Amino acid sequence: MKKSYIFFLASALSLFTACSKKDDSTPANTTTDLTATINSAQQVPTNNSTAAGNFEGTYTSSNKQLTYKVTFSGFTPLAAHIHAGAPGTNGVVAIPFASLTSPITGTVTLTDEQATQLLNNGMYVNMHSATYSNGEIRGDIKKK
């Protein structure tokens, strides 16, 4: 009987200790700074526009949020957004911008696929105008 009691006490203590350990499986809160120079040379196909802009962003992995600021000058955009697509290729719109006035700012929550694309040079800013309806200026987003 004494052995059973000691075994029970040791088992209970072991279970209590195991349950009280810190869970180390929670992912770290990683922040990644992002940038892009936006110009006509990166547009696919390129054009002769002299318009220019800049993208600055921060991606936070814990909440999958991208916070961004886009500034531009030299033209009036009719549409602007972030596309999914590698440098030199055209892709689909992933994140529409709510404003077309510089500076454009926003915060969006990304899907897992979008986060992977963003962190692996698979997204770009594209800005369209009446003169260049397929895109006047573009900036491939990359890590700082």
Q: Inform me whether the pLDDT recorded for 61 exceeds 80.
A: yes
pTM score of the predicted model: 0.80
Task: Write down the H helix ranges in the chain.
Answer: 2-20, 112-119
Residue pair 62/51 in contact by the 8 Å Cβ criterion: no
pLDDT of residue 16: 43
pLDDT of residue 29: 78
Closest by alpha carbon to 37, among 50, 49, 55? 55
- Cα 108 vs. chain centroid, distance in angstroms? 8
Cα 52 from Cα 138, distance rounded (Å): 9
pLDDT of residue 82: 98
Cα 22 from Cα 19, distance rounded (Å): 8
- pLDDT, tens digit, 9 for 90 and up, residues 13-45: 444 444 444 455 555 679 999 999 999 999 999
pLDDT of residue 25: 54
Q: What is the CATH number of domain 31-143?
A: 2.60.40
- pLDDT, tens digit, 9 for 90 and up, residues 81-101: 999 999 999 999 999 999 999
Residue pair 39/132 in contact by the 8 Å Cβ criterion: no
Buried b (16+ CB within 10 A) or exposed e, 69-103: ebebeebebeebbbbbbeeeeebeebbebeeeeee
Q: Inform me whether the pLDDT recorded for 7 exceeds 90.
A: no
pLDDT of residue 24: 52
pLDDT of residue 4: 52
Cα 143 from Cα 118, distance rounded (Å): 9
- pLDDT, tens digit, 9 for 90 and up, residues 101-120: 999 999 999 999 999 999 99
